[in-house]
Each structure stands twice: as structure tokens, then as C-alpha cells.
Amino acid sequence: MTRNWKRAFYGLLAVALLVTAVPVAAVAQTETEQPPRTAVELTDEQRTDRLEAAKERVTAQIDRRLTALDRLAGKIDKDDHISDGHAATLLADIDAARSVLQAGIDAVAAVETVAEVREVAPPIFETTLVFALLGPNTHAVAASDGVAAATRRFTEIGPNLQDALDRLDAAGVDTAEAQADLDEMTRLIAAAATGAGPVADSVIGLQPSDWPDPAQSTLAAAKTALQEARSHLRAARDLGKQVSKFIRSSSSSGE
């Protein structure tokens, strides 16, 4: 009886091992021998739809940049502070970028596969860099020329304030504090002119071939210089107001 029990036990054990071994073998085969994927065959209609969708996406991005170029050209035409030479150079760069983008529309329309769209599209954007370079470049030139115009106006006001203070001083009025403010105003105006004046000429010649450097580093330095110049001008304006207020109040009290 004991022999029969053992025979039955080992028989059940063999069956159990066989049953559990089958899934393990199947998993091992699945992990090491993946069945080949069947390539998805597109219909002519699906290929056409994908091609048209790809063309539309690229064309939309080109149109977006052409619209941005129109805005930049409009800004230059309306800005009285941009010098004629700077305006001419910027507009020439805008026209060149516009020509590339418009030719790009025709090039995209002419391709016959999605792969060709992916091939012709990148150079269109890489050789124009409307948002990365041309836009920031235009704004930096406009800001630089704008600061230059502002410093000229401040410089013209300075001598008038100085003459008024000199008259008050000759009349016995204590002008020491007002004179210190005027001197600081003059210093800030000079600092703004020194910092922002060269910016336009430093960035206006940048081209897409200069990207990322020296274009990125030059534009970053320009942005910092313009921010500092604007800060100097704001402080100079406030000091000028204080000096003017002092002159008016002192003149009125002396009458």
C-alpha cells in the first residue's frame, strides 16, 4: 500500500511540474523571440491625407512668421527714433527673410511625400529665425535708438536747469542739494548713453548663420545694457523733476 501511495504521489508531482513548466517556456519564448511586426499599409487616401496635413502644418508656421515680419516692418516705419541707416538695414533683413519664407510655401506645395516635407521644412526656418533672432534684433535696435534720443533730450534740458540754479545761488539761495541732484542726473544720462548707444550697431549685423553664437550672447548682453540704460533714465527723470520743483519753489518764494 505504501508503494502504491508513493507511485501515485510521484505521478501527481510529475504532472504538476509539466503543467507549470509550459507557461514559463511560453514566456521565455515571448521575451526572446518576438513575432515580426506586420507593416501597416496605408491606402492612397490615407497617404494623401497625411501629406496634406503635414503641408498645412508647415505652411501655417510660415504664415505665422510672415505675419510677424509685417508687424516688425510696421514698427520700423512708425518709429521716429530709429535712424534711417538702421531702418534700411532692418527692412532689408526683413525682406530677405520674407523672400525665403514665400519660396518655402512653394517648395512645400511641390513635394509629394511626408518625408520630403520633413526634408524641405527645417532649412526654411533655420535660415530666417524670425522669432529667435530677427524680432529681438529689431526690438533691440529700436530700443537703443530710443534711448539715444531720450539722452539727447535730457542733455538739452540740463544746461537750462544749471542756469536756473546758478541764478538762485547768486541770489543767496542754498542750492547744494539741488546741485548734487543735477550732477547725478547728468552722470546717469551719460551712463545711459554709454551703455545703450552702441547696442544697435552691435546687433544689427547679426545673421542666422551667427546662431546660436555669437548671436545669443550678443543679444543677451544687449538686453542687459538696455535694461540698465532705461533704469538710469528713469532715475535721471526723477532727479530732474526734483531739481525743477526746487527751482520753481525757490523762484516763487524769492518774488
Distance of alpha carbon 5 from alpha carbon 212, whole angstroms:
83
pLDDT of residue 42: 78
Q: Using the structure block, give the residue that is written with the C-alpha cell 548671436.
A: 215
Band (254; pLDDT cuts 50, 70, 90): low
Q: Decide: 114 and 55 in contact? Cβ < 8 Å.
A: no
Kindly state the cell numbers that stand for 187.
552722470
pLDDT of residue 152: 94
User: Is position 65 within any domain?
Assistant: yes
User: Is position 21 within any domain?
Assistant: no
Per-residue pLDDT tens over the stretch 162-220: 999 999 999 999 999 999 999 999 999 999 999 999 999 999 999 999 999 999 999 99
pLDDT of residue 252: 80
Distance of alpha carbon 195 from alpha carbon 224, whole angstroms:
9
Band (2; pLDDT cuts 50, 70, 90): very low
Q: Is residue 235 located within the same domain as residue 144?
A: yes
Band (14; pLDDT cuts 50, 70, 90): very low
Q: Decide: 147 and 231 in contact? Cβ < 8 Å.
A: no
Q: Is residue 124 located within the same domain as residue 135?
A: no
Q: Is residue 106 located within the same domain as residue 134?
A: no
User: Is position 22 within any domain?
Assistant: no
The last residue of one of the domains, among 110, 128, 146, is: 128
Band (36; pLDDT cuts 50, 70, 90): low
CB-neighbour burial class of residue 98 (10 A; exposed 0-12, middle 13-18, buried 19+): middle
User: Is position 18 within any domain?
Assistant: no
pLDDT of residue 12: 38
User: Is position 4 within any domain?
Assistant: no
Count the domains in the chain. 2
DSSP state of 111: -
User: Is position 61 within any domain?
Assistant: yes
The answer on pLDDT for 55 being more than 70 is yes
Kindly state the cell numbers that stand for 52.
496634406
Per-residue pLDDT tens over the stretch 114-126: 999 999 999 999 9
- pTM, whole model, 2 decimals? 0.81
Q: Averaged over 134-151, what is the pLDDT?
A: 97
Amino acid identity of residue 71, one-letter, is R
Distance of CA 54 to the CA centre of its chain: 26
63: domain range? Answer: 40-128
Q: What angle do CA 98, 148, 210 make, to 5 degrees?
A: 40
Q: Is residue 110 located within the same domain as residue 146?
A: no
Q: Is residue 117 located within the same domain as residue 166?
A: no
Q: Is residue 119 located within the same domain as residue 148?
A: no
Q: Is residue 118 located within the same domain as residue 136?
A: no
Q: Is residue 76 located within the same domain as residue 159?
A: no
Distance of alpha carbon 173 from alpha carbon 164, whole angstroms:
11
pLDDT of residue 45: 86
The last residue of one of the domains, among 99, 128, 157, is: 128
Q: Is residue 124 located within the same domain as residue 87?
A: yes
Per-residue pLDDT tens over the stretch 225-248: 999 999 999 999 999 999 999 999
Q: What is the mean pLDDT of the chain?
A: 88
User: Is position 12 within any domain?
Assistant: no
Q: Is residue 75 located within the same domain as residue 180?
A: no
Torsion sign (Cα): 20, 21, 25, 28: positive
The answer on pLDDT for 26 being more than 60 is no
Cα distances from 5 to residues 10, 13, 125, in angstroms, run 9, 12, 83
Q: Is residue 58 located within the same domain as residue 122?
A: yes
Q: Is residue 108 located within the same domain as residue 142?
A: no
Distance of alpha carbon 173 from alpha carbon 166, whole angstroms:
9
pLDDT of residue 25: 39
Residue ranges in the chain assigned as alpha helix (H): 2-32, 44-78, 84-110, 114-126, 135-170, 176-196, 199-203, 215-254
Band (8; pLDDT cuts 50, 70, 90): very low
User: Is position 30 within any domain?
Assistant: no
Distance of alpha carbon 67 from alpha carbon 32, whole angstroms:
54
The last residue of one of the domains, among 109, 128, 147, is: 128
